[in-house]
A and B are shown apart, each in its own frame.
Chain A
């Protein structure tokens, strides 16, 4: 679900800074592997270098007519050519706007669920960060990709897909750290707490069904 994109590097701060890949691109395991570029050519044993015909030789300029100017340069050949593999696909950008409440309401509900089970201090901290998220959203400080991915995160959280939700939080931290760093750690914690709560509840359910069965099958035996 994470976006796959490449941004240019920071040319001002680093000379020849390489492009920046999104989290989605970096975590792609395998993917279309082109032939690795690792072959070499041996130098000819008899020592003569391959002389290319199209290279102008150094030395005095040739006599005769002047070399053709750039205007006289012919166009590149048309026709077949080795195509590069993956064509970049274009996603249509027309999508519904992500609503604040669609994201914040489920998060706040999740927090309420955790209140009994998690330390008060932690809950307050998470609550504070959710408020910060709301503030930034309302204040127009969050970009569209962040909002979209948060909506996805919340969906996964509500469906108890902890690992996926966690992965989305990670992708947001990697790709948009400047926007999200202050409050995202609260969302991260919330996912972790909900996960714990949910596994505890499951464990309790199992225990209670087990004891119910026990009570039915084992008669109380009192012996002196």
Chain B
């Protein structure tokens, strides 16, 4: 329903009218919100929004409000306060409505004219403990990025290895830098004193009414405009050398990532708080020295694995995580974001550092080397532009959620931090980051998506609220990449229904795709603090309860079990979710799990579903490419398969196809259709590869190839000999173990759903 327009997908599109009934729905009332969804058809309006005058409300004028055009009054649909229109609106009438009252503008964007506009800031924090080729490739990427940055943006450089160097950028030709030891952490004040930053640059918040532009912004010696400094910085980058400290045999380089980040955060805090900035950390290995170190410098002591963590054998983890969490929270408070670009063959400490990206909305990119197309192109795409020629990246967003009084906000899951704003909309029960109706997202783009969870608070047997509809308003204030401040407002409404008499309506309005992603986010959120098996048990329990409530069946008769169309895909999603790298950690390193979870917690619905249940398309001579079941039965000798897991694109040639290709039939003119068949999936794969951020890995394999394991591990193994399954031992609650096939899983599910026990 209007996802294209509003960027919102709800788990339920008809809402149960009482709290008790809502909890019986099993899947909470929740939505996926993409606050800055790309809307080429929505030009922003050049005036400021009209607010409800009640201080505890302040909702924004929207199409759901009742308007008295003669008396020039409007009634807030959230608190029912009657408000006077401001003087500028004296000319409005039924035939001359302002845009924000028109139903097609349920989502509308305002441009804020007042206030100084501050430039975007990019602070590069670069690891020099890299191999020569890698460092050269990284240097070139950074030099290239200077051509992609807006000319007015400010740019800075910190390099680190054993020591941390803050480079003073000047046009004078003599480059100076301030050197810090990598072993000792410093407070923000110490950093600012040592760098000679006395007081912050011109305060950002001073509004100068009537002045649309352009105070020449005080730049610091360490952060200079690109158009002034690009030539010198290009040379400076070109001259960067590998960290000079020798690394002896059997040792890792001493890498002071923790202090380097700390200095970066402190530098921005002291010079440009409260304005859009990215700290971009480029690292080629784990932190091995100082606060935030993740492993020692002895190579024979490996970096922690999941096994180590389970056995409580990860010495540095807690302390390091704490260090980075402290930095991440400070950065979010300052309105800045931290990106991590980690390219190495072994782990780099993403597990400990993940909060830096997750709390601030920064990016996390994981590759094998800076000298790969995966890194180079992913990095280029950070600077991609939209249809207007503006950068897609946006900064410093605050999201506020307002609800009609029958609803409260329980929390949000996504790349955000809480602003701790209490109020009438805030529920006492927390799901995700709760206890607030406002969150801060310091770095975001048109695909950034939050999961927002609600609680129905209407009492049981209380009448369905007058008007029959509940409403929610999402207000996102942010800094656009053109440096304008904007406000995007989305206001939606849905019908209430009495669950007892109108269950069918509610059932038909279930959005299984949104529900699957919202439940998955809850599961992954839990997995950060709970034991893996407990999360799976919870997930299974919710699925069984959902089937018990909404399945059609005769008691004790599993074969009679049916789910209506609006639920038919849901158990499949849950099956694949249980097997996914988001909930199954033992096939991945802690860094890999962190990487996958990072992306899962911020992508939009379509991409999230791809991550949960990869897409599989089959190409054959018999017609256009068709979607097929993610099942081993789809692997056929005369088919080519294209699998998209979001992180990988796999092209797999069936046995016969592979033999034909080996025999060279595609080069013979009479078999041109075979040539086309081979090309078709390559073209489709290319289209995905050209657009996706981050860039996926690309696997082109065939029957019997070693890389075929990527496909084989994802498909449901329905074609193997029967698996034995075990009932859960400890707690007595049944576990549907994950080595089973979908068929066995479904059999189990049906048995449990229909049983009266």
Minimum Cβ distance to chain B for residue A93 (Å): 22
Residue interface bits A67-110, CB-to-B below 8 A is 1, else 0: 00010010111111111111000000000000000000000000
**Residues of B close to A75: CB separation below 8 A:** 660, 665, 671
Tell me which residues from 46 to 79 in chain A have a Cβ below 8 Å from any Cβ of chain B. Answer: 47-52, 54-55, 58, 70, 73, 75-79
Considering only residues 7-27 of chain A, those with a C-beta below 8 Å from chain B are 7, 9-10, 13-21, 25-27
- Chain A, interface SS category: loop
B369 within 8 Å of A by Cβ?
A: yes
A41 within 8 A of B: yes
Say yes or no: A43-B697 contact (C-beta < 8 A), given A50-B629, A181-B144, A192-B151.
Answer: no
User: Which residues of A132-182 have CB atoms within 8 Å of chain B's CB atoms?
Assistant: 169-170, 173-174, 177-178, 181-182
State whether B381 touches A26 (Cβ < 8 A). yes
Q: How far is the CA of A15 from the CA of B606 in the complex (A)?
A: 27
A113 CA to B559 CA in the complex, in Å? 86
Q: Which residues of A contact B624 (CB under 8 A)?
A: 82
Whether A185 contacts B227 by the Cβ 8 Å rule is: no
Of the listed stretches B297-305, B356-364, B437-445, B609-617, chain A binds B609-617
> Interface code B136-150, partner A: CB below 8 Å = 1, 0 otherwise?
000011011011100
CA distance A58 to B632 in the complex (A): 13
Determine if B234 and A16 form an interchain contact, defined as CB atoms under 8 angstroms apart.
no
Tell whether, in the assembled complex, residue B674 and residue A76 are in contact, meaning their CB atoms are under 8 Å apart.
Answer: yes
Interface: B21 (CB within 8 A): no
* Contact partner, B615, options A37, A121, A192, Cβ 8 Å: A37
Are B746 and A43 interface neighbours, CB within 8 A? yes
CB distance from A200 to the nearest CB of B (A): 16
Say whether A189 contacts B230, CB under 8 Å. yes
Whole-angstrom distance between the Cβ of B638 and the nearest chain A Cβ = 7
Task: Determine if B687 is an interface residue (Cβ-Cβ < 8 Å).
Answer: yes
B659 touches A14 (CB 8 A): no
> Known contacts A70-B659, A80-B673, A188-B230: does B687 contact A34 (CB below 8 Å)?
yes
Min distance, Cβ A41 to any Cβ of chain B, angstroms: 5
Is B680 within 8 A of A84, CB to CB?
yes
- Among the listed B387, B636, B677, B684, which residue makes an inter-chain contact with A54, where contact means beta carbons less than 8 Å apart? B636
CB distance from B646 to the nearest CB of A (A): 12
The answer to whether B746 and A177 have CB atoms under 8 Å apart is: no
Q: What is the distance, in angstroms, from A120's C-beta to the closest C-beta of chain B?
A: 12
Q: A26-B377, A173-B147 are in contact. Are A43 and B572 (CB under 8 A)?
A: yes
Q: Is A45 an interface residue (CB 8 A)?
A: yes
Residue of chain A at shortest CB distance from B569: A42
Which chain A positions have C-beta within 8 A of B631? 43, 49-50
* Given A13-B369, A16-B707, also A40-B697 (CB < 8 A): no
Pick from B372, B569, B697, B742: contact of A10, CB under 8 Å:
B372
Which of A45, A47, A85, A186 makes the CB contact (< 8 A) with B231? A186
Q: Which of B195-241 contact A (CB under 8 A)?
A: 227, 230-231, 234, 238
Tell me the bound Cα distance from A17 to B688 in angstroms: 15
Could you tell me the distance between the alpha carbons of A76 and B677 in the complex, rounded to whole angstroms? 11
- In chain B, what residue has the closest Cβ to A7? B373
A33 to B682 Cα, complex, angstroms? 15
Task: Tell me the minimal C-beta distance from B471 to chain A in angstroms.
Answer: 30
B171 interface residue per 8 A CB criterion: yes
Looking at the complex, which one of A17, A41, A54, A186 makes contact with B373 (CB distance below 8 Å)? Answer: A17
Q: A38-B610, A55-B633 are in contact. Are A21 and B688 (CB under 8 A)?
A: no
Q: Which of B348-381 contact A (CB under 8 A)?
A: 367-369, 371-377, 380-381
A180 to chain B, nearest CB (A): 9
Residues of B within 8 A of A80 (CB): 673
Question: B400 to nearest A CB, angstroms?
Answer: 32
Contact A19 B684 (CB under 8 A): no
| Chain B CB within 10 A, most for which of A21, A122, A129 | A21
Q: Which residues of B contact A55 (CB under 8 A)?
A: 633, 635-637, 719
Cα distance A7–B373 when bound, in Å?
9
Residues of B contacting A48 with CB < 8 Å?
Answer: 743
Q: Is the CB of B381 within 8 A of A10?
A: no
A184 at the interface (CB under 8 A from B): yes
Knowing A16-B707, A77-B621, A181-B144, say if A38 contacts B689 (CB, 8 Å). Answer: no
Contact in complex: B633, A50 (CB < 8 Å): yes
CB distance from B251 to the nearest CB of A (A): 23
**Which of B143, B371, B563, B719 touches A181 (beta carbons < 8 Å)?**
B143
Contact B568 A45 (CB under 8 A): yes
Report chain B residues within 8 Å CB of A33: 687
* Distance between A155 CB and nearest chain B CB, rounded to angstroms: 19
Interface string of A28-40 (1 = CB under 8 A from B): 1100011001111
Partner of A86, one of B374, B660, B683, B720: B683
Instruction: Count A-side interface residues using an 8 Å CB cutoff.
Output: 70
A10 to chain B, nearest CB (A): 5
Q: How far is the CA of A65 from the CA of B375 in the complex (A)?
A: 53
The complex places the Cα of A129 from the Cα of B235 at a distance, in Å, of 11
In angstroms, Cα B230 to Cα A54, docked, is 62
In the complex, B246 has a CB within 8 A of chain A: no
Q: A18-B377, A54-B638, A78-B671 are in contact. Are A45 and B144 (CB under 8 A)?
A: no
Residues 159-172 of B, flagged 1 when their CB comes within 8 A of A and 0 if not, give 00000000000010
Contacts of A125 in B (CB 8 A): 231
Contact of A184 with B644 in the complex, beta carbons under 8 Å = no
Among residues of B, the one whose C-beta sits closest to the C-beta of A178 is: B140
Cross-chain contact B673 with A47 (CB below 8 angstroms): no
Distance between Cα atoms of A29 and B390 in the complex (Å): 13
Q: A45-B563, A45-B568, A169-B147 are in contact. Are A76 and B373 (CB under 8 A)?
A: no
Interface centre among A14, A70, A83, A129 (most CB of B within 10 A): A14
- Judge whether A131 is part of the interface by a CB distance below 8 angstroms: no
Whether B697 and A17, one on each chain, are in contact in the complex, defined by CB atoms closer than 8 angstroms, is yes
Most buried by B among A47, A80, A122: A47
Bound CA–CA A6/B686 (angstroms): 9
> Would B369 and A58 count as touching, CB distance under 8 A?
no
Interface residue? B550 (CB, 8 A): no
Q: Which residues of A contact B482 (CB under 8 A)?
A: none
* Contact, CB under 8 Å: A81 / B147: no
Closest chain-A Cβ to B3's Cβ sits at a distance in Å of 13
In B694-736, the 8 Å CB interface with A consists of 695-699, 707, 718-721
In the bound complex, do residue A73 and residue B718 qualify as a contact, i.e. CB atoms below 8 Å apart? no
B residues near A40, Cβ cutoff 8 Å: 569, 613, 615, 627
A154 to chain B, nearest CB (A): 17
User: Which of chain B's residues have a CB closer than 8 A to the CB of A15?
Assistant: 368, 697
Q: What B residues does A49 contact at CB under 8 A? A: 631, 633, 718-719, 741, 743
Does B420 sit within 8 A of A, measured CB to CB? no
Which residue among A39, A41, A189 has the maximum number of chain B CB atoms within 10 Å of its CB?
Answer: A41
- CB pair A185–B231 under 8 Å, yes or no, is yes
B377 CB to closest chain A CB, in angstroms? Answer: 6
Complex contact A185–B372 (CB within 8 A): no
B377 and A43 contacting across the interface, CB-CB below 8 Å:
no
A184 in contact with B648 (CB, 8 Å): no
Contact B698 A19 (CB under 8 A): yes
Chain A: minimal CB distance from B485 (Å): 26
Residues of B within 8 A of A170 (CB): 147-148
Within the complex, the shortest CB–CB distance from A125 to chain B, in Å, comes to 5
Contacts of B563 in A (CB 8 A): 45
Partner of A84, one of B147, B148, B683: B683
B629→A173 contact, CB < 8 A: no
Q: A122-B231, A189-B231 are in contact. List 8 more A-B contacts (CB 8 A).
A: A26-B381, A37-B615, A54-B638, A55-B633, A73-B659, A76-B671, A169-B147, A192-B151
Can you show 28 pairs from A to B with CB atoms below 8 A apart?
A13-B369, A14-B368, A14-B369, A14-B375, A15-B697, A21-B690, A26-B690, A27-B385, A38-B610, A38-B615, A39-B627, A40-B613, A41-B629, A42-B572, A43-B742, A43-B746, A47-B743, A49-B718, A49-B719, A52-B633, A75-B665, A76-B660, A81-B673, A81-B677, A84-B682, A169-B147, A182-B234, A186-B231
Complex A-B, nearest 6 residue pairs according to Cβ-Cβ distance, in ascending order? A81-B673, A14-B372, A9-B373, A18-B698, A39-B627, A20-B373
